[in-house]
Amino acid sequence: MFTKNDTRINRNGRPKAEDTKERRRIKEVLTAIYENSLEHLQKHENELSLKDRIELLRIVSPFLLPKLNSVTISPDTERDHFKEINVNIIRSNETN
């Protein structure tokens, strides 16, 4: 049960994970697996049908591309994000 001002609460947050030998080794192994899989996929890409290529891209894309956050705009949304700007285009009839 949470109680206010409890002395057992960690107020510093979770400590950052140490980069131990085991963690480094796991990263190396996963990187090797990824690189070998990528090479294998590139070699055999032409053997895949268009449907399979699209499915592969659909599955792999979330791991390769940055994720976008969705934004919901409602009447209560602050309008500071959308400021009106005016653009004046001045055309010169002179030719150089």
Write the pLDDT tens digit of every residue in 8-53. 888 887 777 666 788 788 888 877 877 777 777 777 777 888 888 8
Residue with structure tokens 């085991």? 22
| DSSP SS3 for 89 | coil
**Under 8 Å between Cβ of 23 and 17:** yes
Q: What is the pTM of this model?
A: 0.35
| Alpha-carbon span 75 to 72, nearest angstrom | 10
| Alpha-carbon span 92 to 56, nearest angstrom | 53
